[in-house]
Amino acid sequence: MSTSVQPMIPLATYRLQLHRGFTFADAARTVPYLKALGISDYYLSPVSKATPGSDHGYDVIDPVVVNPELGGEDGFQEFVRTVQAHGMGVVLDVVPNHMGIGKTLNRWWRDVLENGRSSRYATAFDIDWHPIKRELENKVLLPILGDQYGAVLENQEMKLVYEEGAFVLRYGDHQLPLAPKTWTRILSHHLERLVAEHERAMPVMELQSILTALKNLPGAGERNPERIAEHYRE
């Protein structure tokens, strides 16, 4: 005869606010004391990876990774084992309705900025892709500039850089990815002269091939799943 495991019903919870100054290891040291007080369950603040230095954990940047500043997956499992060894349980505070997007550290958000509405994560965010202002169709407007756009450009506060295999725009603490199809404007710089002087050189032929592939990528407003999958493959 099979026996079913009965769910634990919290009788008295104690909330802990976790951050880099109070980690899973610190929390584990409180277990005997709280057990003696009659606490049945720990109620933890969010444990998913948050913006570095976050003192609350609600600005999640990766919901599927345990925050390394708290001790990571190993630290969490060790804490749970300590709690369970004392006959107690754990209640987790999760925040499925919002995430942190500061400094573009959230990889889902970064993907949306790079690929627009065709991002595989586009539906995870509440974005109006068809606003009243038609110039913003299928675009994301970010209020991050400290001055008028023209003044920021004039002061050379924005910088185009190439790193880790991609072009990004740096502005202060922000590092914004460029849409892949726009790379053609960068990579085509002096292309005619390169072709004229080194037409059959392998690097030039490879550059032309890359440009052709970029031009054929699906647009930012693409919603066909097969075309989106093709975009990521390319």
Tokens of 5: 């495991």
Q: What does DSSP assign to residue 156?
A: T
Mean pLDDT for the stretch of residues 2-26 = 87
Higher local confidence (pLDDT), 74 or 193: 74
Do 99 and 108 contact (CB within 8 A), yes or no? yes
> What is the per-residue pLDDT for 80?
97
> What is the per-residue pLDDT for 104?
83
Q: 19: closest CA among 61, 50, 64, 42?
A: 50
> What CATH number does residue 114 fall under?
3.30.1590
CA–CA distance, 24 with 140 (Å, rounded to integer):
37
- Beta strand 41-44 pairing with 89-92: parallel
Q: Tell me, yes or no, whether 117 and 217 share the same domain.
A: yes
Q: Which of 92, 125, 146 is the last residue of a domain?
A: 92
Q: Which range scores top for mean pLDDT: 38-52, 159-173, 204-218?
A: 38-52
Residue 1 is assigned to a structural domain of this protein: no
CA–CA distance, 113 with 146 (Å, rounded to integer):
20
113-145 pLDDT per residue, tens: 999 888 989 988 999 999 999 999 888 998 999
Instruction: Provide the residue range defining the domain that includes 63.
Output: 13-92
CA–CA distance, 22 with 204 (Å, rounded to integer):
55
89-98 pLDDT per residue, tens: 999 999 888 8
- Per-residue pLDDT band for 9 (boundaries 50, 70, 90) equals confident
Residue 7 is assigned to a structural domain of this protein: no
User: What sign results for the dihedral spanned by CA atoms 19, 22, 26, 28?
Assistant: negative
Q: Which of 45, 62, 92 is the last residue of a domain?
A: 92
Mean pLDDT for the stretch of residues 32-54 = 96
> What is the per-residue pLDDT for 231?
76
Between helix 202-215 and helix 191-198 the angle, nearest 10°, is 140
Q: What does DSSP assign to residue 57?
A: S
pLDDT at 6 exceeding the cut of 80: no
Regarding pTM above 0.95, the answer is: no
> What is the per-residue pLDDT for 2?
53
Work out how many domains the chain is built from and give that number.
Answer: 2
Do 167 and 161 contact (CB within 8 A), yes or no? yes
Bridge partners (DSSP) of residue 169 are 160, 176
Q: Tell me, yes or no, whether 185 and 74 share the same domain.
A: no
Q: Tell me, yes or no, whether 174 and 209 share the same domain.
A: yes
Q: Which range scores top for mean pLDDT: 9-13, 17-21, 193-197?
A: 17-21
Q: Tell me, yes or no, whether 135 and 55 share the same domain.
A: no
Mean pLDDT for the stretch of residues 152-172 = 92
Alpha helix positions (H), the chain = 24-28, 31-37, 72-85, 107-115, 149-154, 183-187, 191-198, 202-215, 225-233
Bridge partners (DSSP) of residue 163 are 166
> What is the per-residue pLDDT for 196?
79
Q: Tell me, yes or no, whether 122 and 211 share the same domain.
A: yes
> What is the per-residue pLDDT for 15?
97
Q: Tell me, yes or no, whether 111 and 30 share the same domain.
A: no
Q: From the DSSP assignment, how many helices (H) and strands (E) are in the chain?
A: 9, 8
- Per-residue pLDDT band for 225 (boundaries 50, 70, 90) equals confident
Q: 55: closest CA among 15, 21, 11, 10?
A: 21
∠ Cα 109 112 114 (to 5°): 110
> What CATH number does residue 26 fall under?
3.30.750.90
Q: Taking all residues of the chain, what is their mean pLDDT, rounded to a whole number?
A: 90
